[in-house]
Chains A and B, each alone.
Chain A
Amino acid sequence: MTSTFIIVVHSEFQPNLNEETNALMRVMIYTMNSTAFGGEAPTVPQRTGTPPTMVQVQAILVASFCVSLLSALLAMLGKQWINRCAPVNIRGTIIERSRYRQRKLDGIANWYFDYVMESLPLMLQGALLLLGCALSRYLWEYNTTVASVVVGVTSFGVLFYLFIVVAGVISVNYPYQTPAADFIRHIPDALGRIPYILYWIQDTIRSIRDIFRRIPHIPRRLLWAFSMFYPAFRTSIEESYCLGVLTELANNLRWIHVRFTGCHLLLDVAFDLLCTFLSTIPLLPFALAVDACKAIVWLLVGLTRQVYHALSELLAERRMLVQILDLRCISWTLKISVDEPVRRSALEYLATVMLDDSHPIQVVTDWLDILLDCVKVTNRTVTIVQGLEELTATSSLFCLRMLSLLVVMDPTPKILEDVRRRYTRTISSETSFGDPLVRCLLGAIHRVFHQKHTEGQILPFPQRRVRWRVQWNDYEPSSDEHVKVACALTNFARFGYRRSGSSAKVPRWILRFALHSLSRDPLPPASVVIDSLSIIAIDLGCDVPDIVTIHPRTRGVFVLSK
Chain B
Amino acid sequence: MSQQEDPCTRFYKIYRKEAEEYDKEFMKKYDEDLNTTLIFVSLPRCPDTRAKLNGRPVCSPP
Contacts and interface: CB of A to CB of B under 8 A. Distances in A.
A75 B8 contact: no
A323 to B, nearest CB: 12
Interface in B19-39: 19, 22-23, 27, 30-31, 33-34, 37-38
A85 B26 CA distance: 10
Nearest to B30: A82
Interface in A359-389: none
A342 B18 contact: yes
A314 interface: no
A98 B12 contact: yes
A341 interface: yes
A83 B24 CA distance: 11
Contact of B18 (A75, A121, A143, A333): A333
Contacts of A345: 7, 10-11, 14
Interface stretch (A2-10, A194-202, A534-542): A2-10
24 contacts: A68-B41, A72-B41, A83-B27, A86-B27, A94-B9, A94-B12, A94-B16, A117-B33, A117-B34, A120-B37, A139-B59, A142-B57, A142-B61, A143-B59, A146-B58, A146-B59, A329-B11, A333-B11, A333-B15, A333-B18, A337-B18, A346-B14, A349-B10, A349-B11
Nearest to A342: B14
A86 B28 CA distance: 12
Nearest to A123: B37
Contacts of B58: 146
Given A98-B16, A117-B30, A146-B59, A75 B38 contact: yes
A267 interface: no
B4 interface: no
A339 B51 CA distance: 58
B8 A71 contact: no
Given A101-B23, A142-B60, A352 B7 contact: yes
A3 B44 contact: yes
B30 A349 contact: no
Contacts of A337: 18
Nearest to A4: B53
A505 interface: no
B44 A4 contact: yes
Contacts of B18: 333, 336-337, 342
Nearest to B27: A82
Contact of A348 (B7, B15, B23, B57): B7
For the complex, would chain A's binding face be called helix, strand, loop or mixed by DSSP majority? helix
A90 interface: no
Interface in B40-62: 40-44, 49-50, 53-54, 56-62
A348 B50 CA distance: 64
Contacts of A76: 38
A299 B15 CA distance: 50
Given A120-B37, A336-B22, A337-B18, 16 more contacts: A4-B54, A72-B38, A75-B37, A75-B38, A82-B27, A94-B13, A95-B9, A117-B30, A120-B34, A124-B37, A124-B41, A139-B57, A142-B57, A329-B11, A329-B15, A351-B7
Interface of A: 1-5, 8, 68-69, 71-72, 75-76, 78-79, 82-83, 85-86, 94-95, 97-98, 101, 117, 120-121, 124, 139, 142-143, 146, 329-330, 332-333, 336-337, 341-342, 345-346, 348-349, 351-352
B41 A71 contact: yes
B23 A85 contact: yes
Contacts of A98: 12, 15-16, 19
Contacts of A69: 41
Nearest to B5: A345
A349 B14 CA distance: 11
A143 B60 CA distance: 8
B46 to A, nearest CB: 8
B23 A86 contact: yes
B59 A142 contact: yes
Given A8-B56, A117-B30, A142-B62, A349 B8 contact: yes
A15 to B, nearest CB: 15
Contacts of A79: 31, 34
Contacts of A78: 30, 34
A44 to B, nearest CB: 19
Max chain A Cβ within 10 angstroms of own Cβ: one of B40, B41, B60: B41
A348 B10 CA distance: 10
B16 to A, nearest CB: 6
Contacts of A71: 37, 41
A5 B16 contact: no
Contacts of B19: 98, 101
Nearest to B53: A4
A85 B20 CA distance: 12
A269 to B, nearest CB: 87
A341 B41 contact: no
A121 B37 contact: yes
Max chain B Cβ within 10 angstroms of own Cβ: one of A68, A69, A330, A345: A345
B34 A1 contact: no
Contacts of B8: 95, 349, 352
Contacts of B11: 329-330, 333, 345-346, 348-349
A117 B26 CA distance: 13
B10 A8 contact: no
Can you list the 6 inter-chain pairs with the closest CB atoms, starting with the nearest? A349-B11, A72-B41, A142-B59, A75-B37, A143-B59, A1-B44
Nearest to B13: A94
